[in-house]
């Protein structure tokens, strides 16, 4: 069997569930409702990459860069020095057109030779489109092109998708994105019986991944997946 190259996420407890890391060059959907830790997971992944000498790009379509940097600074992650050194790029874009977003992603990744990439979020990138069959077809095509472009760049990517609490069976806006990406991670935040967060690996190509629902904590060092399985 051919050897599958892996990219360690560095997230405690996670890599051991996915044979040591994400498949190199893969696109990975991080789905979940508000407050589940999607942005934190992506930033932790990028931070750990920087520590390993791997440049990274984070494109946000809904948050201010300064707010994101302030939020993660409490974990001791000082991205500013990597930004100044041209090793990390945090770009805020207006999601006016998914083709424009894709073009900017390519520019940023190529400019700093990024190995890791994150987009927040695919949901925002596809907003504003009408639901007519013709428009839906165009959007599916453009989304597919964007995900394939990431593969052609050779970056290992995390793509955030917002999940409405009332629609937990839907992992993406149109329902096709999860079939195009290489893996799907579902984050959940439950408040019944006390607040708790969990991760479920719904699929990961070329990987014998954990099949359970895994609780995780947000600690002073970031996300930590518990060894306990429920």
Residue 131 lies in a domain: yes
Residue 135 inside a domain? The answer is yes
Q: Which whole-number Å values give the CA distances from 134 to 81, 137, 140, in the listed order?
A: 46, 5, 10
Give domain status of residue 13, yes or no.
yes
Give me the mean pLDDT over the 175-193 stretch: 81
Q: ∠ at Cα 9 (8, 13), nearest 5°?
A: 100
The whole-angstrom separation of Cα 127 and Cα 227 is: 37
Average pLDDT over residues 190-208: 88
Q: Is residue 113 part of a domain?
A: yes
Specify which residues 200 forms β-bridges with. 186, 213
Question: Is 230 part of any domain?
Answer: no
Phi-psi region of 154 (alpha: psi -120 to 50; beta: other; left: phi over 0): left
What band does 130 get if pLDDT is binned at 50, 70 and 90? very low
CA distance 132 to 150: 27
CB-hemisphere CA count at 13 Å for 154? Answer: 7
Q: What mean pLDDT comes out for the span 144-160?
A: 93
> Average pLDDT over the chain, rounded to whole?
88
Residue at 1 is within a domain: no
Q: What would the pLDDT profile of 69-115 be if each residue is shown by its tens digit?
A: 999 999 999 999 999 999 999 999 987 778 888 999 999 999 999 99
How far is residue 186's CA from residue 80's CA, in Å, rounded to a whole number? Answer: 30
Domain-embedded: residue 123: yes
Helical pair 38-51 and 65-73, crossing angle rounded to 10 deg: 80
The total number of structural domains in the chain stands at: 1
Mean pLDDT of 193-217: 92
Of residues 140 and 202, which shows the higher confidence score? Answer: 202
Beta bridge partners of 199: 187, 214
| Beta partners for residue 213, in sequence order | 200
Distance CA 185, CA 188 (A): 10
Does the pLDDT value for residue 128 go beyond 90?
no
Single pTM value for the model: 0.91
Report the pLDDT value the prediction gives residue 1, as an integer from 0 to 100. 64
CA dihedral angle for residue 211, residue 213, residue 218, residue 220, rounded to 10 degrees: -50
* CATH code of 137's domain: 3.40.50.300
Residue 35 vs residues 24, 40, 47, 195: alpha-carbon distances, Å: 28, 10, 20, 11
pLDDT tens profile 18-45: 999 999 999 999 999 888 999 999 999 9
In eight-state DSSP terms, residue 167 is: G
> What residue numbers bound the domain in which 83 lies?
6-225
What is residue 195's predicted lDDT score, i.e. its pLDDT? 74
- CA 157 to each of CA 99, 114, 192: distance values in angstroms, whole numbers, following the listed order: 18, 10, 32
Task: Report the share of the chain in percent with pLDDT over 90.
Answer: 66
pLDDT band at 9 (very low <50, low <70, confident <90, very high): very high
Task: Give the pLDDT band (50/70/90) at residue 134.
Answer: low
| The pLDDT of residue 187 is above 50 | yes
Is 120 within the bounds of a domain?
Answer: yes
Residue 229 confidence (pLDDT): 47
Dihedral Cα 7, 13, 18, 20, nearest 10 deg: 40
């Amino acid at each position: 069997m051919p050897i599958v190259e892996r990219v360690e996420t560095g997230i405690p407890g996670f890599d051991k569930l996915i044979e040591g890391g994400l498949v190199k060059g893969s696109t990975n959907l991080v789905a979940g409702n508000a407050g589940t830790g999607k942005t934190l997971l992506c930033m932790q992944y990028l931070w750990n990459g920087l520590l390993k000498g791997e440049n990274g790009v984070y494109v946000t379509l809904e948050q201010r860069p300064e707010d994101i940097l302030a939020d993660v600074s409490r974990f001791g992650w000082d991205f500013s020095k990597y930004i100044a050194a041209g090793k990390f790029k945090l770009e805020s874009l207006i999601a006016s057109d998914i083709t424009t977003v894709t073009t900017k992603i390519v520019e940023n990744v190529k400019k700093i030779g990024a190995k890791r990439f994150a987009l927040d979020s695919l949901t925002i990138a596809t907003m504003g489109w009408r639901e007519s069959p013709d428009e839906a077809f165009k959007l599916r095509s453009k989304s597919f092109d964007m995900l394939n472009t990431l593969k052609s760049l050779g970056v290992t990517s995390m793509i955030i998708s917002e999940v409405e609490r009332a629609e937990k069976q839907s992992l993406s806006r149109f329902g096709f994105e999860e079939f195009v990406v290489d893996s799907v991670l579902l984050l959940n935040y439950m408040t019944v019986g006390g607040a708790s967060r969990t991760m479920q690996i719904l699929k990961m190509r070329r990987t014998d991944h954990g099949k359970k629902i895994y609780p995780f904590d947000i600690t002073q060092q970031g996300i930590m997946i518990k060894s306990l399985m429920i």
